[in-house]
Structure 1
């Protein structure tokens, strides 16, 4: 019975944090460690529930995805200038390529200690983006240039360190490249679909032998919970992104890092 609660808790953690600039990977590492849920089964489970989060974004951005492949609607005809597949490719190739080459080395970083470092450094990076943002030249996603999405793609490399946060890195990178917070966040959510599909698909192929028929119900709970929570989290964040500075999320990261350090010192981790 305890396994079902693990699926529920980790599913909520993944869905809530995947698209917020706080690092879902870092939160799942910490939560899994506290719950004693680690190892091959835990890694396979995390891949499956990430697919639930991907589905949530695909549901929200399905019109945008169709436009990328040439399907036109009233919005695209009213605004002929829009991002295309080249923008997407430029923004995802750097991180995906490096992740493929360094996959085994990156796995060695998955520990509470490295997550704390990532939380702090990622928070500092987001504060820098808020304080040093240059003149905004892209107020919405369709105004992003190839150069700006390249900066976003390079910033995404930072998220390979657990705790740094993919969305936090890309939103901050976009802001430092001259994109508004809303434009950077919108683009971040859109490119999450191919990035996470590629990462999760690769991990599924590598770990498919870890799945058993007895795991179906356990994995299904995590998948469904992750989808529902991610859907609510993204919709809420989209509405608040223009008002909420990355600085607030940075403060949360610092507090979490301090709590984890204190816990590690007093109790051990």
Structure 2
């Protein structure tokens, strides 16, 4: 299969899965394995194209984010929101900086671990969707700093492929009494600086190998993930408000189980 088709497929997978709690990285790594793509460049590709989907959400929330930015000097609400995102960001930044090599060299090379993480995470989603505490916080832009920090600790678990960054933040937020829609929305906001940081770190680490055709493949996957991610983010919150997270839990279990079956045969 030509590399440009693989880039498109991975871009579509990223855009479809970045904002739903099914682990975009886990799905991308399983897709990479199914496509027979070698490690190295394609592992870097998987990390870098995730920023494309994130930029789709930036476009979707641009007015609200711009309003926060321009009112930072005058609005206590805007400053609190910015601080809450920074506080939630810290655990993931520390975990990513300390464990970057382990993540890329060990965890990225374990499709069986990804499948198990998908199944376990799916079961957790099913339980939380039914038994989460009654919500005490309903505004994603006004979470307490304590809640934000604890949500950030849950996000740090997503260094394990298959756990899901959005899944970790959403489950953590709901356990802490954040309403479902607000939990998903805060996950969107937290994704922006998280994935921007991951992009810069991985791009800089691999800058010497990213040239020529590889840059073209990266640009293609990046663009596809942006367009698809924007479309998914537009419908995600309304879907969650109506159906909850149970469908994503079942999907994780299905994909993880199918992956284990396929791995046992190869």
The TM-score with structure 2 as length reference comes to 0.92
> Residues 112-165 of structure 1: CA distance to partner in whole angstroms, max 9, x if unpaired?
111012102212222232233222111221342112112211111221110011
User: 2: CA distance between counterparts of 1:105 and 1:216?
Assistant: 25
Tell me what 1:31 maps to. Answer: 31
Quote the offset at 1:242 in angstroms. 0.5
User: 2: CA distance between counterparts of 1:11 and 1:143?
Assistant: 33
Say if 2:85 is the partner of 1:109: no
**C-alpha contact 1:126 1:169 (8 A) present in aligned 2:** no
Q: What is the number of equivalent residue pairs in this alignment?
A: 262
Quote the offset at 1:64 in angstroms. 3.0
After superposition, residues 176-255 of structure 1 pair within 5 angstroms as: 176-255=175-254
User: 2: CA distance between counterparts of 1:208 and 1:16?
Assistant: 27
> Residues 34-54 of structure 1: CA distance to partner in whole angstroms, max 9, x if unpaired?
111132210232233222112
176-185 or 132-141: bigger deviation: 132-141
User: 2: CA distance between counterparts of 1:64 and 1:165?
Assistant: 26
What RMSD, in angstroms, separates the aligned Cα atoms of the two structures?
Answer: 1.9
3-state SS of 1:22 partner: coil
Misfit runs of 4+, over 6 Å: none
User: 1: CA distance between counterparts of 2:86 and 2:48?
Assistant: 24
**C-alpha contact 2:81 2:142 (8 A) present in aligned 1:** no
User: 1: CA distance between counterparts of 2:142 and 2:126?
Assistant: 24
3-state SS of 1:84 partner: helix
Could you tell me which of 77, 87, 91 is aligned with 1:90? Answer: 87
The TM-score with structure 1 as length reference comes to 0.91
Tell me what 2:41 maps to. Answer: 41
User: 1: CA distance between counterparts of 2:205 and 2:61?
Assistant: 28
Quote the offset at 1:201 in angstroms. 0.7
User: 2: CA distance between counterparts of 1:176 and 1:200?
Assistant: 29
236-245 or 126-135: bigger deviation: 126-135
Quote the offset at 1:81 in angstroms. 4.2
Quote the offset at 1:238 in angstroms. 2.0
Tell me what 1:5 maps to. Answer: 5
User: 2: CA distance between counterparts of 1:215 and 1:160?
Assistant: 25
**C-alpha contact 1:138 1:180 (8 A) present in aligned 2:** yes
**C-alpha contact 1:61 1:190 (8 A) present in aligned 2:** no
After superposition, residues 56-75 of structure 1 pair within 5 angstroms as: 56-71=56-71
Structure 2, gaps ≥5 residues long: none
User: 2: CA distance between counterparts of 1:102 and 1:262?
Assistant: 30
